[in-house]
């Protein structure tokens, strides 16, 4: 079958600086961040390899680039004319406080052309791709995602999208293998009026009708809803103490991608994704978790059929 590999399209990663304090002395943590980076971490933890396609630039980019080059990742980057994005958060009191943030400047035409060609080639080479969003939608146009999804799908690549808003609308037109979205994003996008199961199920079916073969809707600690093989399921997740809820949805997407890349079924992919997301909330590091722990939790994820799609 060859190596299990996923191309992660993470166009605008950020340099993240977090101040923590576990005891009497404050700690400074500097890491690469952003949706695609957290997905990349979890995919490699689950035994698949990643080709990470990103663009970095400026003083922040010079610090960020070597941090992106971690085990299990083939890093492919495009140089940006402007600086990469960043954020500084303070978590010394146990809660996350945003001190300052800069998502990055919008991409220039030349940067987009270079990044598009890079992601297209690496996506086709890997055979599996995750399209992850930028820190702010203004950084990269939605039509770039639409064209990339269309070209990857037309040439036999499995495409998983973890997007919302106009970026999601753009890729749905291309048809997708899997869409993952949170219930908050569905409500914000006007696809659901509230977080009731009825509203979320209707939104899930709408996404399916608009081009997604399978859909996964995360609902924080309420478990997820999933539609695959023309059937809708409640996804029951283990109840665990929360250290940081951020990154759980990205870990869920990563779990799905890792299993599918290794030739697993959609049912196994959803259960593994739910377990990875549940485990991630127990950790302060986003997109992290040990394979053995995910495997144990996967056995405790229950899929309950609701109805046929």
Tens-of-pLDDT digits for all 309 residues of the chain?
347 999 999 999 999 999 998 888 999 999 999 999 999 999 999 999 999 999 999 999 999 999 998 888 999 999 999 999 999 999 998 888 999 999 999 999 999 999 999 999 999 999 999 999 999 999 999 999 999 999 999 999 999 999 999 999 999 988 999 999 999 999 999 999 999 999 999 999 999 999 999 999 998 777 899 999 999 999 987 775 554 455 578 989 999 999 999 999 999 999 999 988 877 655 444 444 567 788 888 888 899 998 665
Asked whether the beta carbons of 289 and 280 are under 8 A apart, the reply is: yes
pLDDT of residue 2: 47
Q: What is the CATH number of the domain that holds 173?
A: 3.40.1190.20
Q: Which domain holds residue 77?
A: 5-308
In the chain, % helix, strand, coil (3-state, to 5) comes to 40, 30, 30
* Domain total in the chain: 1
Tokens 């659901």 -> residue: 192
pLDDT of residue 268: 95
pLDDT of residue 1: 38
pLDDT of residue 36: 96
Buried b / exposed e along 177-202 (16+ C-beta atoms within 10 A): bbbbbbbebbbeeebbeeeeeebbbe
CA angle 116, 118, 123 (to 5 degrees): 95
Asked whether the beta carbons of 125 and 51 are under 8 A apart, the reply is: yes
Asked whether the beta carbons of 68 and 26 are under 8 A apart, the reply is: no
Asked whether the beta carbons of 11 and 54 are under 8 A apart, the reply is: yes
Q: Alpha-carbon distance 150 to 152, whole Å? A: 6
pLDDT of residue 246: 54
pLDDT of residue 244: 47
């Amino acid at each position: 079958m060859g190596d299990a590999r996923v191309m992660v399209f993470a166009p605008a990663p950020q340099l993240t600086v977090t101040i923590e304090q576990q005891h009497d002395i404050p700690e400074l943590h500097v890491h690469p961040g952003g949706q695609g980076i957290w997905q990349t971490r979890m995919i490699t933890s689950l035994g698949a390899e990643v080709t990470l396609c990103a663009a970095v630039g400026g003083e922040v980019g010079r610090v960020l680039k070597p941090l992106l080059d971690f085990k299990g990742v083939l890093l492919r980057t495009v140089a940006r004319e402007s600086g990469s994005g960043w954020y500084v958060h303070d978590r010394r009191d146990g809660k996350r406080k945003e001190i300052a943030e800069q998502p990055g400047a919008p991409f220039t035409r030349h940067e987009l052309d270079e990044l598009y060609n890079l992601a297209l080639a690496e996506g086709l080479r890997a055979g599996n791709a995750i399209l992850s969003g930028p820190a702010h939608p203004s950084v990269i146009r939605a039509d770039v995602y639409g064209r990339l999804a269309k070209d990857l799908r037309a040439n036999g690549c499995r495409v998983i999208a973890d997007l919302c808003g106009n970026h999601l609308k753009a890729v749905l037109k291309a048809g997708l293998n899997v869409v993952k979205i949170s219930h908050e994003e569905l409500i914000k996008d006007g696809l659901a009026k509230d977080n009731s199961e009825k509203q979320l199920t209707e939104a899930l079916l709408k996404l399916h009708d608009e081009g997604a073969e399978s859909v996964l809707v995360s609902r924080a600690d309420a478990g997820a809803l999933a539609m695959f093989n023309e059937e809708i399921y409640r996804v029951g997740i283990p109840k665990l103490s929360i250290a940081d809820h951020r990154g759980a949805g990205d870990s869920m997407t990563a779990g799905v991608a890792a299993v599918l890349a290794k030739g697993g079924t959609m049912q196994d992919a959803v259960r593994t994704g739910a377990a990875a997301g549940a485990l991630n909330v127990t950790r302060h590091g986003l997109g992290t978790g040990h394979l053995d722990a995910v495997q144990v939790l996967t056995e405790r994820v229950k899929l309950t059929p609701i109805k046929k799609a």
